[in-house]
């Protein structure tokens, strides 16, 4: 997530910093390098929502061709397989909605954020 501006970090061009629900507080950079990826994908950017829990099923799909931990097992994960979205042109990314955070501060109030597509609702920020 974003850096702390009091320690000279910059989250530009995004608003917010570490511990904030604005984009500067929740976005982070990532990259993928693999000989399994088509050369035409080098230097491209994926702009759709991608949660940390999406990495496991996505990597499993890329490596072994199965986006599930063990089909039919009792192991449950919340991630979405985004391999096709990262390696091909897709009409709709797998993750349309996104729960950023929900926090109950008791008497002080509630803070949370949800996103859908390019929209985001922040409460208590």
pLDDT band at 54 (very low <50, low <70, confident <90, very high): very high
Does 13 fall in a domain?
Answer: no
Query: For position 67, what pLDDT does the model report?
Result: 64
Q: How confident is the model at residue 72 (pLDDT cuts 50, 70, 90)?
A: low
Length of the chain: 125
Whether 56 is covered by a domain: the verdict is yes
Which residues span the domain enclosing 89?
Answer: 46-94
The total of structural domains in the chain comes to: 1
Q: Output the pTM of the full model.
A: 0.77
Cα–Cα distance, 34 to 76 (Å, whole number): 27
Q: Is residue 65 part of a domain?
A: yes
Residue 53 lies in a domain: yes
- Considering only CA atoms, give the Rg of the chain: 17
Task: Report yes or no on 77 lying in a domain.
Answer: yes
Note whether 98 and 115 are within 8 A (CB).
yes
């Amino acid at each position: 997530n974003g850096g702390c501006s009091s320690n000279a970090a910059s989250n530009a061009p995004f608003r917010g910093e570490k511990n904030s629900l604005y984009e500067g507080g929740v976005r982070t950079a990532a990259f993928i390098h693999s000989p399994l990826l088509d050369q035409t994908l080098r230097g491209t950017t994926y702009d759709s929502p991608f949660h940390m829990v999406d990495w496991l099923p996505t990597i499993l799909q890329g490596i072994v061709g199965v986006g599930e931990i063990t089909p039919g097992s009792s192991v449950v994960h919340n991630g979405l397989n985004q391999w096709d979205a990262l390696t091909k042109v897709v009409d709709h990314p797998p993750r349309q909605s996104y729960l950023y955070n929900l926090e109950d501060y008791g008497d002080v109030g509630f803070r949370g954020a949800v996103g859908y597509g390019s929209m985001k609702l922040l409460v208590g920020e």
